[in-house]
């Protein structure tokens, strides 16, 4: 497992470092057309900024440093800026290659290259501004789903699902207050939180009193959650304790029955074993003593292995994790990684709903996705003999 982590970190560093250098050298070329900048000072600044997203977060979560929120936010935006500037320069260079050194894009031009750099910077700033605004505007996605069970007559159940809030230094207490108000305004009978509610830094979450704010989220039949991969980054047990303190029932490879209504099953995150050294239980084992006369609702943070849930007899699976890529074109990747990376899917007898999440991770922007609360109008209807 350690070797896999080392390989991942090595590959990520190589890709990120190479992309940063590519963007850096292209802007240096543009600057050199206008002046004679100090290469040492330029690269020192560029290296510090490129390392800032990781230094700020590791300093606050691992080293226990009181890193200003502004530095964390600056690092996150820098990462997004590099992302889009990399693709921008790549398109420019591909155009130069395809068109046979089109003069407008020529590196040798004394006037055009600075214009191109300025254009890319302007487009990047516009994208970041639009992404920031979009990330703060929450939509309610509504689904009407029928679940069969041994009921005498149909009954309605209003459920709200919120995933990937990522409470911490980016999604803070004020945004959580807004979320609680929005959820309560929907008057849910039950609330489901399928993971990544806390963004790793459990100590910061606690210091901001977010558990008290989250406790204001309530429903007649309870609030249920599972842990996602980000909860484990700051300690799964500590995160679970904080959620339980807020009145949330955390299910870790466990199930329970709301009498006469439904079963809810919560799976530990599929990455939990990397932190605990213990593999999560088989789904069939978790539900072995469940009341099969009632619908089974599964909370599983990452929407992998949907067929396993189908074969286990799950009626409704609720997941998050994907963020639907969070910002374009990442959604093209999530679409390849997951059978369902956002929205509704009917797979056999099972319904699947994957949320693109409420909050953000890293850059606080959304492009091609949106902040989301899911409203589920569930009809619990008698099984057909």
Q: Are residues 170 and 239 in the same domain?
A: yes
Q: Are residues 151 and 123 in the same domain?
A: no
155-176 core/surface letters (b: 16 or more CB in 10 A; e: else): eebbbbbbbbbbbbbbbeeebb
CATH number of the domain residue 277 falls in: 3.60.21.10
Domain termination residue (choose one: 134, 152, 186): 134
Task: Name the residue range of residue 273's domain.
Answer: 139-382
Q: Are residues 224 and 308 in the same domain?
A: yes
Q: Are residues 25 and 166 in the same domain?
A: no
Q: Are residues 230 and 271 in the same domain?
A: yes
Q: Are residues 113 and 159 in the same domain?
A: no
Q: Are residues 228 and 115 in the same domain?
A: no
> Which helix (H) or strand (E) segment is 194 a member of?
strand 190-194
Q: Are residues 59 and 199 in the same domain?
A: no
Structurally, the chain folds into a number of domains equal to: 2
Would you state the pLDDT for residue 93? 87
What is the DSSP pairing of strand 254-258 with strand 190-194?
Answer: unpaired
Each residue's pLDDT expressed in tens, for the chain with a length of 385 residues: 556 667 877 888 899 999 999 999 999 999 888 888 888 999 999 999 998 888 877 766 665 666 777 888 899 999 999 999 999 999 988 887 777 655 554 444 445 788 899 999 999 999 999 999 999 999 999 999 999 999 989 999 999 999 999 999 889 999 999 999 999 999 999 999 999 999 988 988 999 999 999 999 999 999 999 999 999 888 899 999 999 999 999 999 999 999 999 999 999 999 888 888 888 999 999 999 999 999 999 999 999 999 999 999 999 999 999 999 999 999 999 999 999 999 999 999 999 999 999 999 989 999 999 999 999 999 999 987 6
Q: Are residues 299 and 362 in the same domain?
A: yes
Number of neighbouring beta carbons within 10 Å of residue 106? 14
Would you state the pLDDT for residue 5? 65
Would you state the pLDDT for residue 62? 60
Q: Are residues 6 and 154 in the same domain?
A: no
CA-based radius of gyration for the chain: 24
Overall size of the chain counted in residues: 385
Q: Are residues 167 and 129 in the same domain?
A: no
> Which helix (H) or strand (E) segment is 330 a member of?
helix 330-337
Q: Are residues 77 and 94 in the same domain?
A: yes
Domain termination residue (choose one: 134, 151, 169): 134
Phi, psi dihedral angles at 147 (to 5 degrees): -125, 130
């Amino acid at each position: 497992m350690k070797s896999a982590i080392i390989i991942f970190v090595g590959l990520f560093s190589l890709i990120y470092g190479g992309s940063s250098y590519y963007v850096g050298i292209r802007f240096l070329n543009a600057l050199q057309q206008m002046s004679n900048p100090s290469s040492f000072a330029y690269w020192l600044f560029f290296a510090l900024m490129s390392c800032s997203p990781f230094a700020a977060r590791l300093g606050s979560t691992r080293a226990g440093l009181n890193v200003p929120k502004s530095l964390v936010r600056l690092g996150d935006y820098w990462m997004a800026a590099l992302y889009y500037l990399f693709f921008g320069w790549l398109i420019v260079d591909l155009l130069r290659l395809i068109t046979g050194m089109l003069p407008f894009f020529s590196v040798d031009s004394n006037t055009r290259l600075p214009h191109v750099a300025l254009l890319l910077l302007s487009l990047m700033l516009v994208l970041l501004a639009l992404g920031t605004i979009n990330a703060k505007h929450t939509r309610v996605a509504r689904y009407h789903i029928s679940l069969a069970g041994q009921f005498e007559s149909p009954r309605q159940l209003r459920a709200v699902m919120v995933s990937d809030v990522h409470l911490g230094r980016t999604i803070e207490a004020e945004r959580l207050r807004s979320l609680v108000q929005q959820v309560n305004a929907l008057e849910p009978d039950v609330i489901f939180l399928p993971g990544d509610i806390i963004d790793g830094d459990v100590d910061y979450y606690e210091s901001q009193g977010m558990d008290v704010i989250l406790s204001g989220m309530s429903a007649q039949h309870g609030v249920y959650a599972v842990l996602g991969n980000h909860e484990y980054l700051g300690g799964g047990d500590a995160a679970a304790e904080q959620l339980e303190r807020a009145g949330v029932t955390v299910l870790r490879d466990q199930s329970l029955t709301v009498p006469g209504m439904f079963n809810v099953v919560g799976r530990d995150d599929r990455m939990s074993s990397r932190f605990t050294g213990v593999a999560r239980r088989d789904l069939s084992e978790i539900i072995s003593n469940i009341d099969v006369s009632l619908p089974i609702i599964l909370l599983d943070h990452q929407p992998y292995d949907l067929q396993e849930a189908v074969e286990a007899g799950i009626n409704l699976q609720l997941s998050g994790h994907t963020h639907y890529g969070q910002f374009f074109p990442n959604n093209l990747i999530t679409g390849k990684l997951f059978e369902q990376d956002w929205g509704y899917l009917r797979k056999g007898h099972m319904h699947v709903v994957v949320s693109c999440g409420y909050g953000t991770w890293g850059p606080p922007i959304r492009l091609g996705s949106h902040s989301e609360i899911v409203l589920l109008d569930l009809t619990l209807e008698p099984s057909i003999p």
